[in-house]
Amino acid sequence: MKPFFLVRCLCVTLILGSLLPVSSNKVEAVPSYLAQAQSNYNKYMQLGYSATRQRNYSAALNYFKQALQERPGDRYATTAVSNIQIYISRNRRSGNQGKTYVTYIPTNLGKPMRQIPGGTRGPGVRLSENGTACIQGKKPLTALTPVFDLQKTTAAHPTFFFYVPQTSAPVMELVLSDDQDNVVYQQTLPTPTKAGIVSLNLPEKPNVPSLKVGQTYQWDFSVICDRRDRELDYVVSGSIERIAPDATLMTELEKLKPEEQAAIYALSGFWEDSLAILSELRKSNPNDLTIKNDWEDLLRSGGLEEITQEPLVSCCTI
């Protein structure tokens, strides 16, 4: 099979500056050493991601470590270093130097767009002590979306994934709205009987509009602790954008096996597509260690380390 390497330019800009306290109209220039450090960081991260696509993990590790030196503690670089170290270790044990690992590459470096942690509806979404009373366990309600980026998909009817902790709440709810705040889909469902990851697909029905290419949609997923008081809902929120991939990518994907498609989608920034494929593979091959590793690799590369071991659970059909 002819190897496929998708070349993508990750354009990253971080504005660094401060206003002088003695003047209301004079702006202090960014110190040259800060500008140079940011430039070097961007360069090393892009080189690292390029090497990752080419499966040159030793070079990728070196680039990501250099990026981390430019910005100590940076989460993008730290996550990348951790993932690549796992890949290299796995290659050494198996002797397989040519495998493409399922690695999500963020397209929004420097501007995290994360779903809001569990909280209540209303201004200044916040954690709710009353709402969390219906949640057991230490792990919060969590959407399986990348920590670093806006969730992207090629699907007209995508699948949404959530980790739902053990809960006494009777029902949960998914609401999808367009960029004009019009509700395009809303569904209330029973909660699962045990903690785990649930998947909810946008159904292909005449009364359910498909996602439009180039548009961003807002979703809200709620555990409804008390139907009489929706202010006590435990909520996560986020956005998803449908993007039309280029024809070359889609033609190449048609030649690949599902597990290979998942890797290419992740490398190309299409989180939902990769996650949906791996979810189906896990359901049909629950004892396949390679698929399990791919699933964990994807979640870890998206910043979801804490739920990599959580099971997929059945709860409901939309």
Instruction: Examine the pLDDT at 304 and tell me if it is beyond 90.
Output: yes
* CA nearest to 106, candidates 65, 161, 139, 152: 152
Same fold, 18-94 and 116-307: no
Region 267-293 average pLDDT: 94
Check whether domain 116-307 has CATH 3.40.30.10, yes or no? no
Region 143-159 average pLDDT: 90
Task: Give the pLDDT confidence score for residue 293 in this predicted structure.
Answer: 93
- 18-94: what fold? 1.25.40
pLDDT, tens digit, 9 for 90 and up, residues 257-273: 999 999 999 988 899 99
Listed by start position, the domains of the chain span: 18-94, 116-307
pTM (predicted TM-score): 0.78
How far is 239 from 221, CA to CA, in rounded Å? 11
pLDDT, tens digit, 9 for 90 and up, residues 200-213: 999 999 889 999 99
Q: How many percent of the chain have pLDDT more than 70?
A: 80
pLDDT, tens digit, 9 for 90 and up, residues 30-74: 567 667 777 888 889 989 988 988 889 899 999 999 999 999 998
